[in-house]
Amino acid sequence: GAGVSQSPSNKVTEKGKDVELRCDPISGHTALYWYRQSLGQGLEFLIYFQGNSAPDKSGLPSDRFSAERTGGSVSTLTIQRTQQEDSAVYLCASSRNSPLHFGNGTRLTVT
Amino acid sequence: AQSVSQHNHHVILSEAASLELGCNYSYGGTVNLFWYVQYPGQHLQLLLKYFSGDPLVKGIKGFEAEFIKSKFSFNLRKPSVQWSDTAEYFCAVFTYFGTGTSLTVIP
């Protein structure tokens, strides 16, 4: 069946621009996670959505980062006024219970 | 807050060598434990998981892991690695991940 789909797969942007990253989870998965993967840093938790509950935003590194999940399905991660340190692979994962099913990620490069 | 430690950052082995990757966590309650693998150019995928029961769990491709509650550990093992095992391995407690271990297997 279809897995977690993320778009775009690669994004190059200039410092100061805003970017939007999209995640289509597996149908029926109520939980959706965003992680950031930087070289040598492992997976950094960003935000977690579970059903209709308020999201857990405890991992967002600054107020430039925000995410929403519309209709309990598609999610968008927005980074405003991008900085070079935002360059990383942004991973989305979804689950029904456990474990997590990951997408291929969006590689963001801020120049 | 939970934390997950993977002490081996880079491991290089020859084919047929045995593998053990360490994973320790800090959480006193009931845990869900996972090992995920990321092959070059591919997405993260589940290798094996432990929720309860037999503390020795077996996953895909001959991997196994042992949950030792007293040591807060969930080490990954494979008796004989193959070149195709070259990948990044991540230990996770619930949805909290370690920093990963890069394994390179030399033919």
Domain of residue B34, residue span: 3-106
Angle at A56 between CA A11 and CA A87, to 5 degrees: 20
CATH homologous superfamily for the domain A5-104 = Immunoglobulins (2.60.40.10)
Grouping H, G, I as helix, E, B as strand and the rest as coil, residue B96 is strand
Per the structure, the count of domains in chain B is 1
Q: Check residue B7 and give its pLDDT.
A: 86
Q: Do A40 and B99 touch (CB under 8 A)?
A: yes
Q: Can you give the pLDDT of all 111 residues of chain A as single tens digits?
A: 589 999 999 999 999 999 999 999 999 999 999 999 987 677 899 999 998 889 999 999 999 999 999 887 999 999 999 999 999 999 999 998 778 999 999 999 999
d(CA B84, CA B103): 10
Residues of chain B in contact with residue A48, where contact means CB-CB under 8 angstroms, are 95
Q: Check residue A40 and give its pLDDT.
A: 67
Grouping H, G, I as helix, E, B as strand and the rest as coil, residue A8 is coil
Q: Can you give the pLDDT of all 107 residues of chain B as single tens digits?
A: 678 999 889 999 999 999 999 999 998 788 899 999 999 989 899 999 999 899 999 998 999 999 999 999 999 999 999 999 999 999 999 888 999 999 999 99
Q: Check residue A67 and give its pLDDT.
A: 96
Sequence ranges of the domains in chain A: 5-104
Instruction: Please tell me the distance in Å from A111's CA to the nearest CA on chain B.
Output: 23
Produce one character per residue of B1-20: b if its CB has 16 or more CB atoms within 10 Å, e if not: eeebebebeebebeeeeebe
**With an 8 Å Cβ cutoff, is A49 touching chain B?**
no
Q: Do B51 and A98 touch (CB under 8 A)?
A: yes
CATH number, domain of B83, equals 2.60.40.10
Residues of chain A in contact with residue B30, where contact means CB-CB under 8 angstroms, are none
B72 backbone φψ class: left, alpha, beta (φ>0; ψ -120 to 50): left
Residues of chain A in contact with residue B32, where contact means CB-CB under 8 angstroms, are 98
Instruction: For residue A37, give the chain B residue with the closest CA.
Output: B99
